[in-house]
Amino acid sequence: MISVKLSAKCWKIPVARLALVIVMAVQSLGAGWVQEPVQPRIDEEFAKQEKIYHRRGTRSYTANRGLTNYAEVLPAGFCAALGRLGSSDRWLDIGAGEGQAILDYYTPQGDAAPEKCGGSGPKARAVAISIEDRRTDKWQNRAASLGDDRIRYLSGKRLSQYSLEELGKFRLITDVYGGFTYTENLSRFVDKVLSLLEIGGAFYTVLPAVHLEDGTDKLGAWYKTELVDAASRPVKVCSWLRQTTCAKISCESKTDWDEPTQLIKIHKVCSGVSVPRTNLVEYMAGAPPGRRFQLEP
Ligand SMILES: C[S@@+](CC[C@H](N)C(=O)[O-])C[C@H]1O[C@@H](n2cnc3c(N)ncnc32)[C@H](O)[C@@H]1O
């Protein structure tokens, strides 16, 4: 029954979806440890999502957040971690949109300017990844003037489609309303991120409209990412992440934002990473999409 209540509240989908959720809830009540069925016509939702990535102009999602914005929505310590990077370190921004945060990082600071996020010391090499190419003239000019591949922009593929050889390893990885919020395979995504992190490096991200670890969500909140265990009981994203080996997880809950939002930092502490697997059971295209995952037993 929990499943019915949460899901009906969560996405603005009327009768058809409610019926689907009721069928799933009834099945899971009767069948205990049986995996939830995958939503019919999920491919249609994927096709709609593909169009969302490529929308431009006023119908597009926000893809130009700068470094100040990143500092506001990422966990505490992000700016300091960026500032500690040396010129041979590497920063990966997954779901970078226009790459504005990287451009800001590389913008020289005037004498009178307040200390910017990441400081004014040596700059790390930075790589931006986006499904669709959103490079602006500003990006092209800056990349050309810096030269030597100091900043790179990769598009046309999702994070999971790159090999370690193509991307290399990173000291710092960020994701602001990018792949972590949009992926249809959450465990594979986190596994990939951790495989690209150096030991001692950290991943900073944010997940909107999700059940908060400390349970401070306001009554009536809508959820876009839901996780359940093999018996269909709700699981919080941070509780799931904490089961990952070789990773230290820190979670900050933002109750007063428009949507209950979890700020997440994953610190890689050793090489034997193993992320408990999730299976996608529902997906509704959107910006961001609605997703429901079930943990494998
Ligand atoms: C809402 S925009 C956010 C852009 C930027 N981070 C910002 O805050 O302005 C989402 C970005 O995530 C990218 N994205 C979504 N899923 C991805 C994935 N699995 N791998 C790589 N990029 C992804 C999209 O292509 C897009 O660049």
What are the tens digits of pLDDT across the range 193-203? 999 999 999 99
At residue 60, the 3 state secondary structure works out as coil
CA distance 94 to 117: 18
Q: Please state the atom number of ligand 1 nearest to the C-alpha of residue 70.
A: 8
Non-local CB neighbours of 49 within 8 Å, separated by 6+ positions: 182, 283, 285, 286, 289
pLDDT at 193: 98
Q: Which two tokens stand for residue 71?
A: 């500092």
Q: Please state the atom number of ligand 1 nearest to the C-alpha of residue 288.
A: 1
Residue 212 Cα to ligand 1 middle (Å): 22
Identify the DSSP state of 114: P
Q: Give the tens place of pLDDT for each residue, 202-234.
A: 999 999 999 999 999 988 888 999 999 999 999
Mutate to test the pocket of ligand 1, among 68, 162, 182, 206 (most ligand atoms within 8 A of CB): 182
Helices (H), the chain: 2-10, 15-31, 42-54, 67-73, 78-84, 100-105, 137-146, 164-167, 179-182, 186-196, 237-241
Residue 8 Cα to ligand 1 middle (Å): 27
pLDDT at 4: 33
Q: Which residue has the least CA distance to atom 17 on ligand 1?
A: 179
Predicted confidence band of residue 157 (pLDDT cuts 50, 70, 90): very high
Predicted confidence band of residue 24 (pLDDT cuts 50, 70, 90): very low
Backbone angles phi, psi at 90, to 5 degrees: -130, 140
pLDDT at 35: 73
At residue 280, the 3 state secondary structure works out as strand
Identify the DSSP state of 58: G
Residue 180 Cα to ligand 1 middle (Å): 9
Non-local CB neighbours of 23 within 8 Å, separated by 6+ positions: none
Q: Which residue has the least CA distance to atom 9 on ligand 1?
A: 63
Residue 186 Cα to ligand 1 middle (Å): 14
Non-local CB neighbours of 107 within 8 Å, separated by 6+ positions: none
Given a cut of 90, whether residue 20 has pLDDT beyond it is: no
The whole-angstrom distance between residue 85's C-alpha and the CA centroid of its chain comes to 22
In sequence order, the β-bridge partners of residue 293 are: 227, 280
Q: Which residue has the least CA distance to atom 10 on ligand 1?
A: 178
Backbone angles phi, psi at 189, to 5 degrees: -65, -50
The whole-angstrom distance between residue 140's C-alpha and the CA centroid of its chain comes to 25
At residue 212, the 3 state secondary structure works out as coil
Other Cβ atoms less than 10 A from the Cβ of 75: the count is: 19
Residue 60 Cα to ligand 1 middle (Å): 12
CA distance 174 to 265: 9
Identify the DSSP state of 103: H
Instruction: List ligand 1's pocket residues with C-beta within 6 A.
Output: 53, 61-65, 94-97, 129-132, 158-159, 176-179, 182-183
Averaged pLDDT, 273-284? 98
Mutate to test the pocket of ligand 1, among 59, 131, 280 (most ligand atoms within 8 A of CB): 131
CA distance 66 to 104: 6
pTM above 0.75, yes or no: yes
Q: Which two tokens stand for residue 234?
A: 């709700």
CA distance 215 to 213: 6
Residue 19 Cα to ligand 1 middle (Å): 31
Residue 166 Cα to ligand 1 middle (Å): 19
